[in-house]
Amino acid sequence: MHDFSQSVGNSRWVDPFSGNGASALPEPEGIARTWWCAKPPVGNTHPGAVLPFGMVSICAYSGAYVTGYGKYDLSLSGDMPSQLFDRHEALGLAHFQQSGTGRIRSYYNYLLTTPLVGEGLEGLGTRFLLEDEAAEPGYYSGKFAETGVQFETTCSSRSSVQRFHFPENETGKIAIDLSSGGLLIEGMSVYPKKAKVEFLSPSRCEGKVRIEGVTFHFTIEVVTPVKSSGFWKNDGKILSPRSEYSLRKKLRANQGKLGIWFESEAPGQMMELRIGFSTRTKERSQIAVDKLRDTSFDGIRKEATRHWDAVLGKIEIEGATDEQREIFYSALYHSTLKPADFHDENPFTKKDGAFFFDLSTLWDLYKTQLPLLMTLWPELGRDFVEFLTEVAKREGAFPVSYLMNNAPECFGKQATGLCHMILQDAQMRGISGNWEEVLRLLWVTSLGNLGRGGKFQEFAENHVVHPLSHTLDIAFANFCIAQMAKTQGDQPVYDRSIPLADYWRNAFDEKTGLLREDSDYYEGEYWNYSFRFIHDMVGRINLAGGEQAFVELLDLFFGFKEPEDGQIVHRFEGLNNEPDMESPYAYLYAGRHDRTAEVVRNVLRYQFTTGSGGLPGNDDSGGLSSWYVWSAIGVFPVTGLPLMLIGSPYYEKSVIKMRGGDFTVIAKNQAMENCYVQSATLNGRPIDRCFLKIKEFQAGAELVLEMGPKPSNWAKNSRPPSFIS
């Protein structure tokens, strides 16, 4: 169990080590034993210091897959990954990390900082055993065993702050590698195209490094006494004194490094280093450091805790064990790390305003994490809408991801048209924005003649595209365009879009009631994509042969029913991956809330736990963790549609604090075995439906659910609305 004694507020329940290691989940029973892994059973998170949606993060760096922290090698299958290193090691502390992703081509980890003892820069490039790690939101510490140097890190919105405690008789040095980046795995390292650094005084320097098409400006200052400082290159050779060095040619592996170093004034002296960052100008990086001048390390750490307590205080739960609180708030913590908020830091336009980096990827986030962001922080949702609008105007298309590089066309295999769904979801949730401009851009960049239509134009002509999951994407995206056009009163766009929304049918095989097999499906099989929500669930269920036949397919998928001889069934991925994460709630459209309750409770019970092995697979920037947050509360969003589905709450009481008022879920007679809803009231009035209208959810309301150990007749005759059939 995590140590809860160090902080106040809900941040005290968070374990940043959750999901850092290979999954070590409870032994599954029942239907959960039949589920499978498409991706490695590792959360791929890191314990480093970062603020909510923080621009800057800092963590121990080993070069391992995939965040740079830990000891695992590249792994792309559902098997347990092999180890890249025999022990838990680190070369130092690096900046900017992903959270919970897989192989995404950009791995960051810039400005590697290493504390050293001994002659010269002895030990630079050495792998030190990492011991005595501790972490809480906004703070991370540990010890490099061979040198005995203890470190502490915290951060502000634009800066990292590091303290190094050296052994009593050792004169400490800090070396910073300006040419570090990526992972220490073949094909996953990155090297700067250009770098430049200049000392302004023995304790302060500034510079820039251009990596993957983005320039990172930095200001570095040691705020404790410094005896000397300078430059080094390659394996630690100290260069002759001069005020400035530059790299003009792109570096390659083992073809040279450039760095700086600082030496403390006396043996045993603690050294405190602060680094400010900007993707626009050196002046902005200077401001990032200078604004902290009158604030101590402990003061910065306390401010980070205050930020996290405010964010984690947006949802309160009651009637949970300490273990359940740890899992829940660690999930909420991971749900609020990305996307990284680079407000006023647009490196491409150099203009102030909303800008986000490290959207890896929208496929991971659009079903669960972004609806959570829009719900709890509408002001951040407004900025996100502004950001997507700016990207579309500048690049001629809406993104499916946005990594910290200058390569916006990544990840075309995963999905398409996601911004159509996300933007319609934002408008539906009351997020402010220039919606006329948004609609124009959606039209121009998809069906219009001025944008990079790509698969949208192919779909408009042929009414089907491959992978067939993209047929579902584009049909739903056209529905979202039509709904936005309807809201804006744009009849021509509505008339063009709404007929295309009906061609989702072309992805299905009417003989099986499932998606056609004659296509490639990303990180899953045709079964995994067959039960996703669409705007026409009545038509979808009728295509399967009616509600009973649809439920039978779901029962095969989740393991309630065994396949017949020779029948091929690809089972639920159990939250190891994204394609079928909403499918437990598909039963609601056929009147089987009891089945939804059973599946959801099995996921909550067997696929999440405490500790470094507490996640079932890549957390993917909070995509899986936010599923847990919604499902444990007992409501679930349907992106792009004005619905909140009612599930099976895990706690006696949950309170979501929103702009329109608190939304409260009370589960009476709550217990592990009592997963079935017996009856329900909304604001004191009985309801016999398994969904809420979005306006009911946002207005501030109290949903009371009476729970019991057996299925009931509650909501058997209700169906969430279908928006075409």
Chain segment 195-248, per-residue pLDDT in tens: 899 999 999 999 999 999 999 999 999 999 999 999 999 878 898 888 888 766
Distance of alpha carbon 374 from alpha carbon 370, whole angstroms: 6
pLDDT interval class at 448 (50, 70, 90): low
Same domain? For 453 and 531 the reply is: yes
- Whether residue 487 is contained in a domain is answered as yes
For residues 457 and 578, state if they share a domain: yes
CA dist 104 and 100 (Å) reads 11
Same domain, 624 and 551: yes
β-strand 661-668 against 701-708: which pairing, if any? parallel
SS3 of 635-657: the string is EEECCCCCEEEECCCCCCEEEEE
Is 21 among the domain residues? Answer: no
Domain boundary among 630, 658, 675: 630
Residue 647 lies in a domain: no
Query: What's the whole-number mean pLDDT along residues 528-549?
Result: 98
Instruction: Give the pLDDT confidence score for residue 245 in this predicted structure.
Output: 83
Residue 586 has pLDDT above 60, yes or no: yes
Per-residue pLDDT band for 5 (boundaries 50, 70, 90) equals: very low
The pLDDT score that the predictor gives to residue 250 is 53
- Lowest-confidence segment of 228-232, 453-457, 699-703 by average pLDDT: 453-457
The reply to whether 407 and 472 lie within a common domain is yes
pLDDT exceeds cutoff 70 at 262: yes
For the segment 52-67, the average pLDDT, to the nearest whole number, is 98
Adjacent-strand bridge partners of 182? 189
Query: Do 146 and 187 sit in the same domain of this protein?
Result: yes
Residues 298 and 359 in one domain: no
Render pLDDT for 658-677 as a digit per residue (tens, 0 to 9): 999 999 999 999 999 999 99
Question: What three-state secondary structure class fits 232?
Answer: strand
At residue 1 the predicted structure's pLDDT band, cuts being 50, 70 and 90, is very low
Query: Is 405 inside any structural domain?
Result: yes
Residues 263 and 342 in one domain: no
Q: Mean pLDDT, to the nearest integer, of 58-83? A: 95
pLDDT over threshold 70, residue 551? yes
For 23-59, the pLDDT digits (tens) are 999 999 999 999 999 999 999 999 999 999 999 999 9
| 3 state SS for 563-600 | CCCCCCCCCCCCCCCCCCCCHHHHHHHHCCHHHHHHHH
As a whole number of angstroms, the distance between CA 343 and CA 346 comes to 7
Indicate which CATH number applies to the domain containing 197.
2.70.98.10
Q: Is residue 259 part of a domain?
A: yes
Read off the tokens for 486: 């309807």
Which CATH number is 547's domain given? Answer: 1.50.10
What are the pLDDT digits (tens) for 74-99?
A: 998 999 999 999 999 999 999 999 99
- pLDDT number for residue 105: 86
Give mean pLDDT, residues 165-178: 96
403 with 428, same domain: the answer is yes
Please tell me whether residues 344 and 400 are part of one structural domain: yes
Residue 146 sits in the same domain as residue 246 = yes
Q: What is the pLDDT of residue 2?
A: 43
Tell me how far apart the alpha carbons of residues 523 and 76 are, in angstroms, rounded to a whole number: 10
Final residue belonging to a domain, choices 630, 659, 689:
630
Query: Which tokens in the block code for residue 265?
Result: 């004034």
Percent of the chain with pLDDT over 90: 90
Residue 515: inside a domain, yes or no? yes
pLDDT over 80 (residue 452): no
Spatial CA neighbour of 641 closest among 514, 529, 477, 528: 477
User: Which pLDDT score is estimated for 63?
Assistant: 97
Domain assignment of residue 275, given as a range: 107-310
- Read off the pLDDT of each residue in 113-140 and give the average, rounded to a whole number: 97
Residues 302 and 419 in one domain: no
**Which range among 11-20, 242-251, 276-285 shows the weakest confidence by mean pLDDT?**
242-251
Whether residue 473 lies inside any domain: the answer is yes
Question: Is residue 605 domain-shared with residue 523, that is, in the same domain?
Answer: yes
Residue 32 DSSP SS3: helix
Above 60 in pLDDT, residue 251? no
613, 630, 647 - which closes a domain = 630
pLDDT of residue 3: 46
Is 596 inside a domain boundary? yes
Q: What is the mean pLDDT of the chain?
A: 94
The domain total for the chain is: 2
Give pTM, 2 decimals. Answer: 0.97
